[in-house]
């Protein structure tokens, strides 16, 4: 999707420059703005098509999907990340997952945004106090485990989702024979019907 979006966005920039050079109130300016609107629609269609295909693939192979409820409004205030976050369409993606899981009898678990998914060592559960977004790898000062930021966050999100399902009495105590650690309870959401406890994590790439 990234390459196709980039081509359309480049095309959009060209059309916007052309529209800006037209005289205000002229027919040519109105025509140019219609062209810009069509390119915006093409970009939206590309993004929606990709998210539909990806969400369909995930739901087809999983009964439970665990995601992190990200603070998107706060994230887009960061000018360095705003475009990347908008291009991802995270909110739309979660909605697609939600209704597709509902149709298939699955479950969507949303982990609260305050859960320290990136800052928590998935090996020994030590929590570091700070982890800026530009730091993509870190070493746990307690056990020495080297972590990839997003990979570690995905493991923690999955474990928290399984813990929540277990505490809610949904399914088996653990689908994979792993220990479910008692992380502090947080207000999160679980949607859809009761199913066997299996969890697929969708890493956000921008986890806190």
Mean pLDDT within 71-80: 59
Residue 88 binned pLDDT confidence (cut-offs 50, 70, 90): low
Tell me how long the chain is.
208
Q: What is the pLDDT of residue 201?
A: 56
Domain extents for the chain? Answer: 1-61, 62-208
CA 9 to chain centre: 22
pTM beyond 0.75: the answer is no
φ, ψ of residue 192 to 5 degrees: the values are 80, -170
Cβ contacts of 143 within 8 Å, gap of 6 or more: 121, 123, 124, 126
pLDDT tens digits, residue range 107-152? 999 998 889 999 999 999 999 999 988 899 999 999 999 999 999 9
Q: What is the pLDDT of residue 202?
A: 56
């Amino acid at each position: 999707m990234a390459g196709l979006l980039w081509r359309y966005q480049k095309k959009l920039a060209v059309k916007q420059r052309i529209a800006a050079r037209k005289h205000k109130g002229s027919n040519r300016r109105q025509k140019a703005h219609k062209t810009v609107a069509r390119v915006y629609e093409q970009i939206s269609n590309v993004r929606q098509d990709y998210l539909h295909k990806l969400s369909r693939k995930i739901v087809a192979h999983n009964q439970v999907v665990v995601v992190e409820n990200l603070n998107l409004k706060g994230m887009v205030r960061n000018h360095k990340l705003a475009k990347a976050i908008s291009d991802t369409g995270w909110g739309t993606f979660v909605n697609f997952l939600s209704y597709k899981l509902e149709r298939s009898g699955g479950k969507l678990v949303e982990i609260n945004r305050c859960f320290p998914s990136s800052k928590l060592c998935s090996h020994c559960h030590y929590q570091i106090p700070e982890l800026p977004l530009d730091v993509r790898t870190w070493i746990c000062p307690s056990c020495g485990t080297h972590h990839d930021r997003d990979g570690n966050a995905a493991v923690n999100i999955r474990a928290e989702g399984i813990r929540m399902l277990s505490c809610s009495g949904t399914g088996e105590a653990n689908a994979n024979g792993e220990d479910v650690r008692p992380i502090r309870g947080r207000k999160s959401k679980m949607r859809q019907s009761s199913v066997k406890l299996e969890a697929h994590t969708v890493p956000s790439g921008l986890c806190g």
